[in-house]
Amino acid sequence: MRDDDVQATLRRLRGRWTQRVDEVTSAPLAALAATLDHAEQPPLPGDALPPLAHWLFFWPLRTTSGVERDGEACPDAELLPPEWPQRQCTGVRLRFHHALRVGDEMLRRSGVQQAQALPEGGVRLTLRHEITNAQGLALEEEQDLVCRAAGARPGALPQPAPAEAHFTRLLTPGAVLLFRYAALRFDSHAALDGPAALLPPALLATLAVDLLRRERPAVALRALDFSLLRPVPAGQPLRLAGRDDSPRHLTLWAQDAAGQLALQAHAEYAG
C-alpha cells in the first residue's frame, strides 16, 4: 500500500466513534463463574460485575455470512481498517470509577484515540471505550492494537518471568475452557482445538484477574494495566502468579510452559 493511501486511511480512522447499549444480566456472569471453576449461586440484581466481565457484553452481532474468513467478528470491526486484517492486542489499560451491577443499563462509547503507521507495514491503533450507567462514567478502557496484512506473524522476543511470587496457580487450559469462553463472547474466531489453538488475550487476562479474586477476594480494583507479550498455546501448562509490590499495588503475570512471560499486569486497588 502506498504511503499516501496509508495516511488517508489513518486520517479516516482518527476520531471515529460508535455507541452501543446493553444490560448487565445474571446468566452470562453465572456462566463465566462456572467456566472459571467457581461453584457460586447466580448473581442477584444489584450484585457487582466482576473485573473484566464487561467483555461478555456488547456482542458483535454480525450475521454468519458477514464474519471474516477466519470467523472473526471483532466487537470493534467498524473502527478497524480492513486493509490490515491481522490484528494483535498488545496492551490494555482500565480505570474503574464505580461498579457496574446486575440490572444496569449500560452505554459504551468507543473510538479510535490514536492511529499511526508502522515502519514495517501496518498500523498501530489505540481504541478508547467509555462505559456509563445511570450513575455516570463507570469504566474507561484503552486497547492497543497492531494491525498488519493477512498472514503477518512477527515473532515475540522471549522474556523471563519474575522470580518472586507471593501466590501462584497452575492449570492447563484446554478445549472445553476455550469453547466456553468463546461462546460467552459470541466469538467464532480462531482455532479452539488442536495444535493451532491459542488462548485469546481476553481469556488470558481474565484468568490472571481470576487468580487475584481467588487470593485477594476483598480487593476493589481502581486501575489495571496489561501488557500482552506472547501467545500461549492451549493444552499446555500455564502458570499464573502475583506479587504484592506496595500498599494498594500488585503485579500479576502469566508464563507459558517454557517459563517465558506471556502477560504482565499492574493493578492498583482501593485502600
Taking CA 92 as the corner, what is the angle to CA 87 and CA 94, rounded to the nearest 5 degrees?
A: 145
Are 82 and 145 in a shared domain? Answer: yes
Element (H, E) at 201: helix 201-215
pLDDT at 203: 96
Are 135 and 174 in a shared domain? Answer: no
- Tell if the pTM clears 0.75, that is, is over it: yes
Are 131 and 187 in a shared domain? Answer: no
Q: Does pLDDT of 189 surpass 70? A: no
Are 142 and 13 in a shared domain? Answer: yes
* Residue 115 phi, psi dihedral angles, 5° rounding: -150, 125
One-character DSSP codes across 72-102 = ---TTGGGS-TT--EEEEEEEEEEE-S--BT
Are 136 and 205 in a shared domain? Answer: no
* Residue 151 phi, psi dihedral angles, 5° rounding: 90, -10
Domain boundary pick from 97, 125, 154: 154
Average pLDDT, the chain: 88
When pLDDT is averaged across residues 82-91 and rounded to a whole number, the result is 80
Are 32 and 92 in a shared domain? Answer: yes
Do residues 55 and 108 lie in contact, with contact meaning Cβ atoms separated by under 8 Å? no
Residues with Cβ within 8 Å of 44's Cβ and at least 6 positions away in sequence, in order, are 26, 102
Q: How far apart are CA 234 and CA 245, in angstroms?
A: 30
Do residues 129 and 143 lie in contact, with contact meaning Cβ atoms separated by under 8 Å? yes
Are 19 and 143 in a shared domain? Answer: yes
Q: How far is CA 87 from CA 76, 103, 143, 151, in A?
A: 11, 33, 12, 10
Q: Check which CATH number belongs to the domain holding 161 and give it.
A: 3.10.129.10
**Parent domain of 190:** 155-271
Q: How far is CA 153 from CA 10, 121, 129, 148, in A?
A: 22, 12, 27, 9
Are 77 and 206 in a shared domain? Answer: no
Domain boundary pick from 120, 154, 188: 154
When pLDDT is averaged across residues 139-144 and rounded to a whole number, the result is 97
pLDDT tens digit string along 21-76?
Answer: 999 999 999 999 999 999 989 999 999 999 999 999 998 887 787 776 555 555 56
pLDDT tens digit string along 114-125?
Answer: 888 888 778 889
Are 190 and 145 in a shared domain? Answer: no
pLDDT at 192: 60
pLDDT tens digit string along 172-181?
Answer: 999 999 999 9
Taking the CA atoms of 58, 62, 63 and 65 in sequence, report the sign of the dihedral they define.
negative
Are 173 and 255 in a shared domain? Answer: yes
- The structural domain count of the chain equals 2
The count of other CB atoms within 10 Å of the CB of residue 160 is 9
Domain boundary pick from 104, 124, 154: 154
Are 159 and 138 in a shared domain? Answer: no
Are 89 and 215 in a shared domain? Answer: no
